[in-house]
Structure 1
Amino acid sequence: MPRSFERLLKPFPPEEPQAPPGGLMPFLWACTRGSRRYIALLALLSASVSIYEAWLFAFLGQVVDFLSAWKAGDPVSTQERTMLWGIGLVLVASIGLVALRTMVQHQVLAINLPLRLRWNFHRLMLRQSLSFFANEFAGRVTTKVMQTALAVREVLLTFSEIVLGIGVYLLAIIALAGGFDMRLMLPFIGWVVLYGAAMLYFVPRLGKVGKEQADARSSMTGRVTDAYSNITTVKLFSHTRREAHFARAAMEGFRETGYRQMRLVSQFEIVNQALVVALILAAGGYALQLWHTGEIGTGAVAAVTAMALRVNSMSHWIMWQMATLFENIGTVQDGIATFTQAAKVQDRPGAKDLQITQGEVVFDRVSFNYNGERQVLDGLNLTVKPGERIGLVGRSGAGKSTLVNLLLRFYDVDSGQIRIDGQNIAHVTQDSLRNAIGMVTQDTSLLHRSIRDNIAYGRPDATDADIRAAAKHAQANGFIEQLNDPHGRTGYDTQVGERGVKLSGGQRQRIAIARVMLKNAPILLLDEATSALDSEVEIAIQESLNEIMEGKTVIAIAHRLSTIAAMDRLIVMDHGHIIEQGSHAELLSRNGTYARLWRHQSGGFLGQEDDEQAVPQPVAKYHRSA
């Protein structure tokens, strides 16, 4: 039976999630999509169980009155027998009621609801623009994905159990006390009013400090994760103590919010204890007085005293639950700021897939600046013909990488258009655009998965033979076969570590090149693609790159000019403008910016003179038959 309940709520809905609205209640309402009927059922069952538990006190009073009037040996009357049978049936039926409630709470919602939210939150974050992650710690975002989902679940379940269940429970107790004598309602009503006033004072303050604590926790986790993610840099600069103190500063901030929270909790608990002692004295004492005057029976005294004692234990539980509730509300509010952000780069409604027919790339009067702070491109025009190979040259900050990022639509242009085969890339889906482009970057980052998975990332349906062939063309097969990890995996099954930390820079770059070779996209982008390789391996890989560049539109960025001098056309950029373009020989003959850059390089390296008229020849093409 539990498994049938576990299948009622799907933890991984296929529908693409929409960015939730801002504001606590709209956000929570959006989070309940798909699970509302089960949450409503849980609330109804919690209220029913509360009524049942309150009824037990009436049952206690009836039993006490029955025992007070009944003498040993006397026969049980029909009325009394009916009462006892009724009580027995209600007690047995409660098993089914509690079983149904716990199945809904623990089998349907407890695991599936937070998993569903994490799945949706994670997909929302994956759709975020690159600029979003440039301004956030990865660990901080991860923490929010994980803890906000749990906090939403706890808020919803606590609300169902406390606000609805306990609310019904207290109303039932007050009604039952009034059933014995209307005056017995007064101590309970007084306690509810004073307890409510205490919560109105403490709970919002607990909620505020809970939100601050959630933010402090995210910051603390982000700083710790950042140190682990960049452990090589930390070790290289001998900054383990500095990183420890950097994390400690966030931990101290978290400590201060924790202290403030615990002070409020201690004050609330003291006030709560004073209120329940007053309730026990008032309710029990008043009941005894009424019994002494003969206005109520023994059963009423027993029931009312038991109710007051039950409220005593329950009030402490409510206090902690309410404190936890508002701590979770603070966590949810902290997550709202992250999950309600719409991605800056989005597909237009009805966007179609990009159709590549030739591979022509056109930058038409493209202007772009980063957050209005710095104009990077200003009315740039550039046409890359189908199958043409161009090299982008220029000093750092000239706009080369920005041009590539805009073509990949990591950012949207401020004005102008970028077209591929006549299609404005702003009007096609981002996935289809990036599927048509292969790129090798200078800073190669691999996923913490196997070598095989990393290469196949370029084409997930590739066969093992395809993967090995791509690795051989990238001169990677030799070192891959020698790899192993602590879990006994070898070769292509070896796990590479976070960001590929187990591999050298050259090895990571060869894996990245193999990945792009396997993808075999019609447009190829190279950003210092061979910068981390030694000369011998670079020459061998360049042969393979020349082969895969055949028939493709290629845009290459290089600071080492010798690596791109053999391109069909070189584009020299400065301050977001194209200032020169032509072949290597043509640009040298003009004696302009490119010629000056070339004079300061010899074989592509800075600080040496070289014959500026020496034109590097294209590397011999790689032949499969070789």
Structure 2
Amino acid sequence: MILAPVFTFFESLIKPFKDYQAATPPTTVRGFFTHFLRQVWPVFAVLLVVGLLFTLTEVMVFQYIARVIDILTHADPAQLWALHGREFIIMLLVLGVLSPALLGLHSLILQQAITSNFPTLIRWQSHRHVVRQSLSFFSNDFAGRVASKVVDTASALRNTLVTLCDTFLYVIVYFTSAIVLFFAADPRLILPVIIWMALYVLMCLRFVPKLSKASEEGSEARSSLVGRVVDSYTNIQTVKLFANTHREDDYVREALDFNGKKWQAQQRLITTLDIGVAVLNASLLISTGILAVWLWRDGAISVGAIALVGALTQRLLNMSGWVMFQVTSLFENIGTVQNGMETISHPHTVIDAAQAADLVVTRGEIRFEDVQFGYGDSGRPALNGINLTIAPGEKIGLVGPSGAGKSTLVNLFLRLYDLTGGRILIDGQDIATVTQETLRSHIGMVTQDTSLLHRSIRDNIGYARPGASDAEIMEAAARAHAASFIPALVDSKGRAGLEAHVGERGVKLSGGQRQRVAIARVLLKNAPMLVLDEATSALDSEVEAAIQDSLIDLMEGKTVIAIAHRLSTIARMDRLVVMDGGRIVEVGTHSELTAAGGLYARLWARQTGGFIAEDVAVKSLELSEHD
């Protein structure tokens, strides 16, 4: 394609994935726009200059029409080319060469450089900021709503800047040209235009703020609607299992109705504005026409001047509707940007310390020193004065009733939240002073409710170690007893085995298959510290028994923290840490704690039904010790 090199050049003017200084985007509209615009401002500056020149060539058309009419009205046909040929050639070059060239250049800058690459730059940087938010950030919003804002805000920001450039140029050039050209024909011709412009501006000042508010409210309503729809689709199994399809209909219909009413309010403003502009335009057309004819009758202006006034007035009227549409679109986009800023510009709450070092794990000792933590402004601490030392290679089980603080303690160890007080150390290094990436790279975790990425089996297992070979991935799968079902997997697009995609959150796999893939992922990671949150709870007894050997291998030589409920997990722990009400209330082995008759003994008896199960647990513990 002959234009391919040209397209490539202009497409390279904005590099969306270039290196940049990561920072939280400003929370003001001007600051937010400037944050992204300053990275590409030379391209927009050239767009403005080229657009200005092209718009001037458009205005020249009206002046040329008037000039040609006057020449043809008075010139001798025999002398036409001799007297005016050079002038005609200039007109032809401006209209036939310069104007198309400027239009083509303007289109290349706008379409190839800005339209695609600029939103990609905004989305990339916005995503990189949002994905590093704390766990609580995502817990407080719909995932679909957050994603919608990241995507839509970029388009709205680009559209706002492009609209500002185009509208600014056309308004300045056309309105100024109208005043100049009308004044040159006869100063009295500018009176209707000035009055019309004043009324037009007053109308804008009256309606634009209302449109801005309506657009922002409409954008928020649309984001909420998307969030509700995505929430229903994401949890479709729950919707169907509880036979709540009609309830979901009502849930989404409420959001649709609210969104529709916000849209209707916005459209009412637009229609009122359109009617007002139509009345103003009719008044300008009639008053200018009458005045021009009256001036021509008195010999004050020529026929060419009448043609100029008529054509330029009609252009102003057509443009006034376009400008009003652009202004409406402008503030709708600004409303979308304002709405998106609330999410995108949210500052990170869990951040690396200045000059944070990489975590170095030499032994794997973990110490919790007077750890305090509370969620939000509830005032009630979730953890209160946790002191615990876990020796290198030791395996402890966290036990306690729901709400005791077990998951919270694990989340703090992973630094998904920051402590309220105290500190957590790994081999003497405070986790608050090391980078989050290196901290979590040294910790493997298998959760009770495993959700996989909507990607291939290879991607899901290999996520633990980028660059791992298929042989290494399959070895980990075999150790997790997942190799037996992986070759038989086929997705809807015919991809099989390691290439098969697992669906959103892994819905195409059974619970046991998902858990085995998750265990394979942690086996491949081979981190020195391990967190298990009921890692085998989704497996049937036969598969669980088969995986126990893999878990023993996985735990070998590692410091392990396991949230423990089941016999198979508890029996293999060196110590059990019993929590209640955000505190550690008991510490010891299974035998010691059951003999003590405290909270653990009561929980154990309630779970197993008494001493028979307890005897089984003790025998299992003895067998594991002999092993």
Q: What TM-score bracket applies, with the shorter chain setting the length? A: over 0.9
Q: Give me the whole-angstrom Cα distance separating, in 1, the residues matched to 2:331 and 2:141.
A: 26
The answer as to whether partners of 1:566 and 1:618 remain within 8 angstroms in 2 is no
The answer as to whether partners of 2:174 and 2:316 remain within 8 angstroms in 1 is no
Correspondence 1:247 to 2:252: yes
Q: Give me the whole-angstrom Cα distance separating, in 2, the residues matched to 1:101 and 1:173.
A: 23
Q: Report the Cα offset of residue 620 of structure 1.
A: 6.3
Q: Give me the whole-angstrom Cα distance separating, in 1, the residues matched to 2:549 and 2:289.
A: 93
Corresponding residue number in structure 2 for 1:518: 524
Corresponding residue number in structure 1 for 2:408: 402
The answer as to whether partners of 1:525 and 1:554 remain within 8 angstroms in 2 is yes
Correspondence 1:126 to 2:131: yes
Q: Report the Cα offset of residue 16 of structure 1.
A: 5.2
Q: Give me the whole-angstrom Cα distance separating, in 2, the residues matched to 1:568 and 1:31.
A: 54
Aligned CA distance change for structure 1 residues 282 and 20 (closer, same or farther; 3 Å) = same
Aligned CA distance change for structure 1 residues 548 and 29 (closer, same or farther; 3 Å) = same
Match of 1:167 among 167, 172, 183: 172
TM-score (norm. length: structure 2)? 0.96
Q: Report the Cα offset of residue 229 of structure 1.
A: 0.4
Correspondence 1:85 to 2:109: no
Alpha-carbon RMSD across the aligned residues, in angstroms, is: 1.5
Aligned CA distance change for structure 1 residues 619 and 82 (closer, same or farther; 3 Å) = farther
Deviations 1:543-563 (A, max 9, x none): 111112111100000222442
Match of 2:282 among 277, 283, 293: 277
Match of 1:223 among 228, 231, 238: 228
| SS in structure 2 of the partner of residue 617 of structure 1 | helix
| SS in structure 1 of the partner of residue 222 of structure 2 | helix
Corresponding residue number in structure 1 for 2:3: none
Match of 1:292 among 268, 289, 297: 297
Corresponding residue number in structure 1 for 2:454: 448
Deviating runs (4+, > 4 A) in structure 1?
618-621
The answer as to whether partners of 1:588 and 1:595 remain within 8 angstroms in 2 is yes
Q: Give me the whole-angstrom Cα distance separating, in 1, the residues matched to 2:101 and 2:510.
A: 62
Match of 1:257 among 245, 258, 262: 262
Residues 337-416 of structure 1: pairs in structure 2 closer than 5 A:
337-373=342-378, 374-416=380-422
Moved more, 330-339 or 169-178: 169-178
Q: Report the Cα offset of residue 601 of structure 1.
A: 3.3
Letter in 1 for 2:170: G
Correspondence 1:307 to 2:309: no
Correspondence 1:199 to 2:204: yes
Q: Give me the whole-angstrom Cα distance separating, in 2, the residues matched to 1:74 and 1:566.
A: 110
The answer as to whether partners of 1:50 and 1:166 remain within 8 angstroms in 2 is no
Q: Report the Cα offset of residue 181 of structure 1.
A: 1.5
| SS in structure 2 of the partner of residue 76 of structure 1 | helix
Moved more, 41-50 or 569-578: 41-50
Q: Give me the whole-angstrom Cα distance separating, in 2, the residues matched to 1:148 and 1:619.
A: 60
| SS in structure 1 of the partner of residue 621 of structure 2 | coil
Match of 1:137 among 142, 164, 177: 142
Q: Report the Cα offset of residue 609 of structure 1.
A: 4.5
Correspondence 1:492 to 2:467: no
Q: Report the Cα offset of residue 157 of structure 1.
A: 0.2
Letter in 2 for 1:498: E
Letter in 2 for 1:243: E
Aligned CA distance change for structure 1 residues 59 and 487 (closer, same or farther; 3 Å) = same
Q: Report the Cα offset of residue 350 of structure 1.
A: 1.4
Q: Give me the whole-angstrom Cα distance separating, in 1, the residues matched to 2:567 and 2:209.
A: 63
Aligned CA distance change for structure 1 residues 16 and 543 (closer, same or farther; 3 Å) = farther
Letter in 1 for 2:89: W
Aligned CA distance change for structure 1 residues 436 and 119 (closer, same or farther; 3 Å) = same
Corresponding residue number in structure 1 for 2:74: 69
Corresponding residue number in structure 2 for 1:100: 105
Correspondence 1:610 to 2:612: yes
Corresponding residue number in structure 1 for 2:514: 508
The answer as to whether partners of 2:371 and 2:423 remain within 8 angstroms in 1 is yes
Q: Report the Cα offset of residue 258 of structure 1.
A: 1.0
Q: Give me the whole-angstrom Cα distance separating, in 2, the residues matched to 1:62 and 1:129.
A: 68
Corresponding residue number in structure 1 for 2:433: 427
Letter in 2 for 1:405: N
Q: Report the Cα offset of residue 279 of structure 1.
A: 1.1
Corresponding residue number in structure 1 for 2:571: 565
Correspondence 1:597 to 2:603: yes
The answer as to whether partners of 2:55 and 2:169 remain within 8 angstroms in 1 is no
Letter in 1 for 2:90: G
Q: Give me the whole-angstrom Cα distance separating, in 2, the residues matched to 1:347 and 1:219.
A: 32
The answer as to whether partners of 2:364 and 2:427 remain within 8 angstroms in 1 is yes
Corresponding residue number in structure 2 for 1:576: 582
Deviations 1:149-178 (A, max 9, x none): 100000000000002332222112211111
Deviations 1:217-261 (A, max 9, x none): 001111000011001100100111111110110000110011111
Structure 2: gaps spanning 5 or more residues: 1-5
Q: Give me the whole-angstrom Cα distance separating, in 1, the residues matched to 2:21 and 2:227.
A: 27
Letter in 2 for 1:86: I
TM-score (norm. length: structure 1)? 0.96
Q: Report the Cα offset of residue 361 of structure 1.
A: 0.7
Letter in 1 for 2:24: A
Correspondence 1:34 to 2:8: no
Q: Give me the whole-angstrom Cα distance separating, in 2, the residues matched to 1:148 and 1:299.
A: 48
The answer as to whether partners of 1:543 and 1:620 remain within 8 angstroms in 2 is no
Match of 2:466 among 457, 460, 469: 460
Structure with greater helix share of residues: 2
Aligned CA distance change for structure 1 residues 427 and 580 (closer, same or farther; 3 Å) = same
Corresponding residue number in structure 1 for 2:8: 3
Q: Give me the whole-angstrom Cα distance separating, in 2, the residues matched to 1:63 and 1:129.
A: 69
Q: Give me the whole-angstrom Cα distance separating, in 1, the residues matched to 2:120 and 2:147.
A: 14
The answer as to whether partners of 1:601 and 1:610 remain within 8 angstroms in 2 is no
Quote the sequence identity (%): 49
Deviations 1:292-322 (A, max 9, x none): 1111111111001111111121111111111
| SS in structure 1 of the partner of residue 371 of structure 2 | strand
The answer as to whether partners of 1:43 and 1:165 remain within 8 angstroms in 2 is no
Match of 1:212 among 204, 217, 231: 217
Letter in 1 for 2:270: V
The answer as to whether partners of 1:600 and 1:609 remain within 8 angstroms in 2 is no
Q: Report the Cα offset of residue 182 of structure 1.
A: 1.6
Deviations 1:378-430 (A, max 9, x none): 11101111111000010011110000000000000001101111111111111
Aligned CA distance change for structure 1 residues 20 and 114 (closer, same or farther; 3 Å) = same
Corresponding residue number in structure 1 for 2:557: 551
